[in-house]
A and B are shown apart, each in its own frame.
Chain A
């Protein structure tokens, strides 16, 4: 930059062209304020803060690979399965693009789950970031819908029966349930009209997510980013997003991409179901039907309740309750670092969700449904009872006066 040639006015031609354009559309300044040198970020963010940008990266990967898959895919019941095999065998690098997309869904969820857990541990949902948190939940719901719709498209056995089971959730609604399901199907079973509309919506929803991410980042910029200490960062404790956090995110991205491509190249089917390589058969349900891993805890909640309507309500409720999280957690201390009792229950809740996930992967026999029921009850007790009560009763550790204070104290 220092070697730029200056014109007679003291400005380079490049500078003048830039200013001419910025006076008409200030997009560079806007980016600079959004994710550049004019966006101040707390100086103490740890690596758990990398997962937001990683999620955006994965969304971009999914959209780009998806666009190219759609060029070779045929959304018709008699051609869909074969067109996916055509992509795998005949299309140049089709195997790579499809494995990136299929595993990309899993890695997108891994990244987003870590992103959500980071927010939950460090209290990022608390005032003044409630709307930011809500938009995040909407993104998560849109992701789950998109992933479900996409999983139906290869038209394998798991696609078909997953579509059948999940659309049938709506049949639990008293009175109008069956009519709603018929509407969703466009017929009397999951069939060609269903596949066509699922393809259309699977292509649409990612762009809805892009819009939601725009709002998510907007809502993030109003209060600014939270930080591991959970205290408001003083201006002196902030550094510009570019270059500091851009470089940190790029480094994290490098590590992440290595892990992602190890899965794509060497274990591309590890997270998939072999049954989905069998073409959809409306006359035969697979013996052991399970959803993709990222749905398993919710699937376990659904199965553990021996009542159709209540099971569906609790399954959706297990996610919708997150909307109330900013008020269910009554503690005014954000970061779990200063909340010894909360930490124990937070870890317990994660273990509970993992157990539910395992329950969801097992056939519902013997002791399994009972474990699922206990896990479900604990899931809701955590949010509805533990969090409010711990917030009232817990004595948090003393908070530092500023982000730099504990560091400077330790140096003395």
Chain B
């Protein structure tokens, strides 16, 4: 605007005032745009009906010792393993310090005979094999992910392969001896 030093000095007060107005207007514009973008982005988050369906109750009565089942929870498989004494023993005698994601089996299984984990490989989200007795269980007798070869043990802990973490243990509570609520 001001081409000479003289004019610049004369306009100095006006320039500041104009700059202030410009910046407050721009700031209001940004706030307004943000207020408009927020609901649009927020609408992509889980809706109320999705959130309302986020816990399930599961009966463990029908699961025989040595049997593993899958349940659907939040659109993902949950593995429930009724472990044999040998499987529990294998899971508990491991030196935790050597594990990639150190966790004791006691922390992961509230009741030693039942292991409940989310059946989603912590690498890139495939469902590991090993729930059905006919599937590959890997050398630690737990689960084996066919996508990139991650191997989990009978406690669902990562033992070999690219996955960084153990299979997630979902929040769950035993309502009674044979019924568990997941989520």
Contact = CB atoms under 8 A, between A and B. Distances in A.
B16 interface: no
B47 A94 contact: yes
Contacts of A65: 40
Contacts of A92: 39, 42-43, 45, 47
A173 B27 CA distance: 57
B48 A93 contact: no
Interface in B59-117: none
B49 interface: yes
Contact of A90 (B38, B39, B49): B49
A94 B43 CA distance: 6
B18 to A, nearest CB: 11
Interface string B29-51: 00000000011101111011110
Chain B interface extent, by class: 10 to 19
A68 B40 contact: yes
Contacts of A72: 43, 47
| Interface core residue of B40, B45, B50 (most chain A CB under 10 Å) | B40
Chain A interface extent, by class: 10 to 19
A153 to B, nearest CB: 17
B47 A93 contact: no
A97 B47 contact: no
A97 B43 contact: yes
Main secondary structure of the interface of B (DSSP, over half): helix
A314 B64 CA distance: 77
A93 B43 contact: yes
Contacts of B2: 2
A345 interface: no
A89 interface: yes
B48 A90 contact: yes
23 contacts: A68-B40, A68-B43, A68-B44, A71-B43, A71-B44, A72-B43, A72-B47, A90-B47, A90-B49, A90-B50, A91-B43, A91-B48, A92-B39, A92-B43, A92-B45, A92-B47, A93-B39, A93-B40, A93-B42, A94-B43, A94-B47, A97-B39, A97-B43
Given A91-B48, A93-B40, A97-B39, 18 more contacts: A2-B2, A64-B40, A65-B40, A71-B44, A72-B43, A86-B47, A89-B48, A90-B47, A90-B48, A90-B50, A91-B43, A92-B39, A92-B45, A93-B39, A93-B43, A94-B47, A97-B40, A97-B43
Interface of B: 2, 38-40, 42-45, 47-50
